[in-house]
Structure 1
Amino acid sequence: MKQAELIKKMSDQELKKQLLFSQSLFFILSIILSLFLFPKFSNWFMYLDVNVKQIIYYGCIPAIIVVLIEIVLHYIIPRRFFDDGGINEKIFKNQSIVSIFVIALVVAISEEFLFRGVIQTTFGYIFASSLFIVIHFRYLTKPVLLTLIILISFLLGYLFELTGNLIVTIIFHFIVDFLLGIFIKYSK
């Protein structure tokens, strides 16, 4: 059975629980892997820097630009090119803004800890960005969505290379997911 068919059979709450469960697994995996791949567990602290200037210039501003580009694309490219099997719509359409906030925050933290925090610091930028694309496999047969996830993945990796700061990539990822989640919720 295709993923889209499975998703359609799930209630919004079941899908939300599955999403949060999978993201929890990513977070736990990042902690476990760091125990084996980092010389010291305290290495995490060198990737977490509350540098407001970096957060604004490399996290907030690029994320808002990406969101604006995606919204413009939604208005000029036919809707069918953005169809991921209805998953994003099912995740965000009937959620409250608080739920969208929580979902976006959990996803941003768990995915950035795993992909940038562990995988990129251990195996490199190209490998981490490529693996990030692969886990978003529902986009692999959709050229527009695939192009967007490739650009976002490599941009996230580049921002981490540039700053060495997971807070920057978490903020970027959160803003993109949160604002696009709200856009999906209110779009017709």
Structure 2
Amino acid sequence: MKKMMNQAEMIKQMSDRELLNQLYLSQIILLVLGILGSFLFFSSLENWLSMFKWNGKEIFLFGAVSGIVFVLVDLFLMKVLPERHMDDGGINERIFKNRSLLHITFLSLLIAFTEELLFRGVIQTTFGYVTGSLLFALVHIRYIVKPVLLLSILLISFYFGYIYEITENLNVTIMAHFTVDFLLGLYIRFRSG
């Protein structure tokens, strides 16, 4: 617990630019791990590319629509629960509040692609659904001391893993992840107060 508090204090002492740089660094690390894992665990480029299918109906229904549902549930929880239950230490606020629409779009795409490539595309296809989902949730470690946020990230992680299991289409989980991050980024950027 003390280590978590030290991490929270360290983040508070960072400038917004430093925090954004750390976000980019973490995504580069996850992308490199995803690429290396792809080379290690996929027998061919064709095998790897088979994870990316263009099925508009699946991408829309399982990706975009389910992402919208998660965001609506999250917004509902923000309205009915005390703020302390949904507070991630202000990290998302600092990342998205002063960004342009283009930058929010880029960040959301980058995060969705890198995290889904690694956790669903490499880890889940190699080590299984539960392992991929738990590791995804573990990467979001700052939520561990917040039960509502922890439950939320676990549900999202297992849901993303599940929709990958049933569709075998990484574009679906990338769209779901992008939709959640993009819409919440917009909410943070444009809400009043």
Give the TM-score taking structure 2 as reference length: 0.93
Cα displacement (A) at 1:104:
0.8
Count matched residues: 188
Question: 1:73-93, CA deviations, whole angstroms, 9 ceiling, x for partnerless residues?
Answer: 110111111111221111112
**Alignment-mate amino acid for residue 178 of structure 1:** F
Tell me the equivalent position of 2:143: 139
The CA RMSD over aligned residues, in Å, is 1.2
Question: What does residue 103 of structure 1 align with?
Answer: 107
Q: 44-53 or 95-104: which moved more?
A: 95-104
Letter in 1 for 2:127: F
User: Secondary structure, in 3 states, of the residue corresponding to 1:2?
Assistant: helix
In the other structure, the counterpart of 1:166 is: 170
Query: Which residue number in structure 2 is paired with residue 44 of structure 1?
Result: 48
| Superposition pairs of residues 54-93 of structure 1, within 5 angstroms | 54-93=58-97
Q: Which amino acid aligns with 2:146?
A: K
Match of 2:156 among 152, 159, 165: 152
Shift of 1:151: 0.5
Counterparts of 1:16-27 in structure 2 under 5 Å? 16-27=20-31
User: Could you give the per-residue CA deviations for residues 15-37 of structure 1, whole angstroms, max 9, x where no partner exists?
Assistant: 11211121011111111111111
Residue 130 of structure 1 corresponds to 134
Moved more, 145-154 or 15-24: 15-24
Residue 156 of structure 2 aligns with an amino acid whose one-letter code is I
After superposition, the C-alpha distances for 1:134-184 in whole angstroms (9 at most, x for unaligned) are 111100110110010011000000010010000000010001001011112
Structure 2 spans left out of the alignment, 5+ residues: none
Deviation at 1:42, TM superposition (A): 3.0
Structure 1 alignment gaps of length 5 or more: none
Aligned partner of residue 89 in structure 2, secondary structure: coil
Distance (Å, rounded) in 2 between the aligned partners of 1:68 and 1:119: 29
Superimposed CA distance per residue, residues 55-74 of structure 1 (whole angstroms, 9 cap, x where no aligned partner): 11110111111111111111
Q: Which amino acid aligns with 2:70?
A: V
> What is the TM-score of this pair, normalised by structure 1?
0.96
Q: Structure 1 vs Structure 2: percent identity of aligned residues?
A: 50
